[in-house]
Amino acid sequence: MIRIAIANQKGGVGKTTTAINVATALAATGWNTLLVDLDPQGNASTGIGVSAADREYSTYDLLVDGAPLRQCVVGTSIPNLDLLPATVDLSGAEVELVSAEDRTHRLGKALSVENPYDVCLIDCPPSLGLLTLNALTAADTLLVPLQCEFFALEGLSQLLQTVERVQQRFNPELGIIGIALTMYDRRNRLTDQVSEDVRSVLGQLVFETVIPRNVRLSEAPSHGVPALIYDHACAGSRAYMALARELITRLPEKRKAA
C-alpha cells in the first residue's frame, strides 16, 4: 500500500476536496483505496457521506487507544473506497499523545498491518502539529494542494522546511509526489503570476493539471458525496479526474502494476 499525505498548514486551500475527489477517482479506476481523515473537523468523513452516527471508531481510537485498523475502517457508498473517519475527539489527541513514547509513529504502525488496500490518502489538518507529523512520518510521499494566491507561497516555503526536518529525523524516505494548484481563476492575473512563480521554482514537481474555482466543487460536500459523483461533468470534476490520472503516472511502477 502506497501512502500519500495531503498536507498544507494553510487552511482553505482545498486539501479535503482534493483528498475526497482524488480518492474517488483512484477507486473508480480499480484501486482499492483507503481515505484517512486526520482532521478533527471531520470534513472528509462528512464529505464522503459518512455521518457522525456511523463513526463508532475513528482515527482517535486508532492513535490514542491503539484500536486495530480493521475495527476503525468503515465502508462508503463508493466501490473500492473505504474511510478511516475522524470525530471531534481527535482534537484532544495531540495533547494526549505528547507524553507517549512513540507519539510520531503511531499512524505509521497502524497502517503497516496487512490490509487489502493499494493506496492510502491521508487528509491532514491545517497545521503542522503532532497529527500532521504522524501523517508525514507514515507517508511514502506528499501531495500539496496550493491555492493560487500570494500568501500561499509563504506557507509552501514553511511546509518544505518541515518536510526536510521530517526527512532528517523521522522518515528519510518521504518524498513529494507533486504540488497541485487549486482555486485557479484564469480571469485573475495574480493567479497566473502565482502559477508562473511556482512552476519557475519547482518545475516538474508542479502538476500540469490545475483545479479551477468551481461552484459544483463547493456544493458537493453539503450533499455528502464527492464532486465526481455529484456532477461528474463539471469543470472541477474533470480536473480532479485529470489530476488522478497524472498522479498515477508518478506512482512507482511496481505499485501501478499491482
Amino acid at 127: S
pLDDT in tens, 208-227: 999 999 999 999 999 999 99
What are the E-state strand segments in the chain?
Answer: 2-6, 33-37, 74-75, 81-84, 119-123, 141-147, 175-184, 206-212
- For residue 258, what pLDDT is reported? 43
| C-beta atoms surrounding 95 within 10 Å | 9
Alpha helix (H) residue ranges in 80-234: 93-97, 106-111, 130-138, 150-169, 189-202, 215-219, 227-230
Give dist(CA 132, CA 125) in Å, integer: 7
> Is residue 83 within 8 Å of 73, Cβ to Cβ?
yes
Q: CA quadruple 126, 55, 231, 118: dihedral positive or negative?
A: positive
Q: Which residues pair with 36 in a beta bridge?
A: 84, 122
pTM, to two decimals? 0.94
Q: Which residue has the cell 512563480?
A: 197
State in words which class domain 2-257 has.
alpha beta
- Relative to beta strand 74-75, strand 81-84 is antiparallel
Low-confidence ranges of the chain (pLDDT < 50): 254, 256-258
What are the residue ranges spanned by the domains of the chain? 2-257
Q: How many CB atoms lie within 10 A of CB 198?
A: 19
- Contact, 16 vs 133, CB < 8 A? no
The 81-84 sheet, strands edge to edge: 74-75, 81-84, 33-37, 119-123, 2-6, 141-147, 175-184, 206-212
Q: What is the pLDDT of residue 177?
A: 96
If one counts every other C-beta atom within 10 angstroms of the C-beta of residue 104, the result is 19
Distance, in Å, from the CA atom of 81 to the CA atom of 74, rounded to the nearest integer, reads: 9
The three-class DSSP label of residue 34 is strand
Cβ–Cβ under 8 Å, residues 73 and 40: no
DSSP lists the bridge partners of residue 83 as 35, 74
Please give the pLDDT value at position 190.
83
To which residue does cell 511514502 refer? 140
